[in-house]
Every structure is written in structure tokens, then in C-alpha cells.
Amino acid sequence: MSRNASLHTNLGASILPNMVAIRLTAPRIGTGGKFPAACLLCWGMFLGAASAQPTADRGGVRNFITATLSLAAAPGDSDTDRRISDLVVVVRISNHARETQYFGDVPVGAARLDPGEEAPEQKIWEDERCHQRRGLPKASVISVTGAYERDRSRLQASLRHIGLKLPADEIVPGQSLTAGHDGAGRFFAAETRTSRSHVTILLKIYLTDCTL
């Protein structure tokens, strides 16, 4: 065997165990290097999920209700013919939540209304305390009374009842709630009117955010 061939054989014999050792140790070094990185990645994901997890929702709501009374103008009638005094509207309110319960009839009045006139808006009811969001309170007009100034005849409007004769002056409830926003906050509004006397009652249910 020549010297060069012998050298090549000796180099090959010396390199082979080293290459085997490198291949055997390389995965271990790679695994050892990847393990902390994987742990950090999992820990980061855990912290991210924990920080993204919302805290217990303590948000609640308080409601209050306002009423605005007005008298629509009808063509052909003079102001004195349809002017109403001592107007009283009764609003039935029902609101039931775990934190607060209410059911009752609330009177709303106006000393005098001329056709085309609107009485100032009045706050007629408010929640005693903050409560869970469980939907809007129920508010409906159940009676409207007053007197016509021209002859002091009575104004008496009532709801329609199944099996009874239609009232001469019927309370016609609004068909839907309209969302809005003003200086007092967010509200839902519904309008009720009387068919003969043309009294209009605008009820607005306001929503105020609060903490339980």
C-alpha cells in the first residue's frame, strides 16, 4: 500500500468515529436547544390567553322613563274648541330584575294644552338601583282623562278590550320602539295617541350604564 493510500485510510478511520459522534450528539443538542424555546412559546401563549380572558362582567344598567304630552292640531277646529285642561295620563310600568322589582301605575299631568302645543318632558320613573341587563322595562298608557275648556265636558280615553264595545275615544298604542340618543343618553321611544281627542304621549326609556 502506498503512503498516500495509507494516509487516506488513517484519515478516514479517524474521521468516521467523529462524524458518528457528531450525528449522535447533534440531535441531543438540538432537542436541548428547542425545549426551552418551546416552553417559552407555550408560556407566552398561556400568558396571552390569560390576559385576553375577560374579567367577570360587572356591567349593569339603570333605566328611567320620561313622558311628553302633546295635543295634535286638527284642521277646522279653533283653539278654544279643543283646548284641554286638567289632563291626566296614567302609565303602567313593570320592571323585574334580580336586584330590583317594580310594578305600578304612574300619573302624568298637564294643567292645560292647546292644539299644536307640547308640554315639557317629565321624568316619571327611575330604577332604584343598578341591575342586570334583562331587557327594557314595560311601559304602557292605560287611561287618559281631562276636560274640554269650551264646555267643561269630560275627556275619557281608554284601551280596547276583547268582548266589549269599542270606546268612543280609544288609546292606540305605538307599534314599535325607536332607538335614539340625546343629551340625557341612549333611549328607546314609543308614541301612544288617542283616536278622538288627539292627545299624544311620547314615552322614552333611557339606559344608563352602571357597575353591579
Query: Structural domain boundaries of the chain?
Result: 1-53, 59-211
Residue 11 pLDDT: 43
Strand partners, 125: 65
Residue 46 pLDDT: 39
pLDDT(141) > 50: yes
Mean pLDDT check: name the lowest of 38-47, 151-160, 162-171, 197-206. Answer: 38-47
Confidence band, pLDDT 50/70/90 cuts, at residue 83: very high
Quote the radius of gyration of the chain (alpha carbons, Å): 39
Mean pLDDT check: name the lowest of 14-28, 47-61, 77-91. Answer: 14-28
For all residues of the chain together, what is the average pLDDT? Answer: 79
More confident residue, 15 or 94: 94
Q: How far apart are CA 197 and CA 212, in angstroms?
A: 44
Confidence band, pLDDT 50/70/90 cuts, at residue 177: confident
Residue 92 pLDDT: 97
Question: Taking residues 14-37, what's their average pLDDT?
Answer: 45
Give the amino acid at 73. Answer: A
Q: How far apart are CA 150 and CA 194, in angstroms?
A: 19
Residue 49 pLDDT: 45
Residue 212 pLDDT: 86
Under a CB-based contact definition with an 8 Å cutoff, are residues 94 and 103 in contact? yes
Confidence band, pLDDT 50/70/90 cuts, at residue 59: confident
Question: Taking residues 44-66, what's their average pLDDT?
Answer: 64
The percent of residues above 90 in pLDDT, for the chain, comes to 54
For the beta carbon of residue 65, count every other beta carbon within 10 angstroms: 23
* CA dist list (Å): 209 to 39, 99, 121, 133, 163: 42, 15, 22, 10, 43
For Cα atoms 192, 193, 196, give the angle at the middle one, nearest 5 degrees. 160
- pTM equals 0.70
* CA dist list (Å): 185 to 23, 102, 148, 181: 72, 22, 36, 6
**Residue 162 C-beta-side C-alpha neighbours within 13 Å:** 0
pLDDT(50) > 70: no
Residue 76 pLDDT: 61
pLDDT(181) > 90: yes
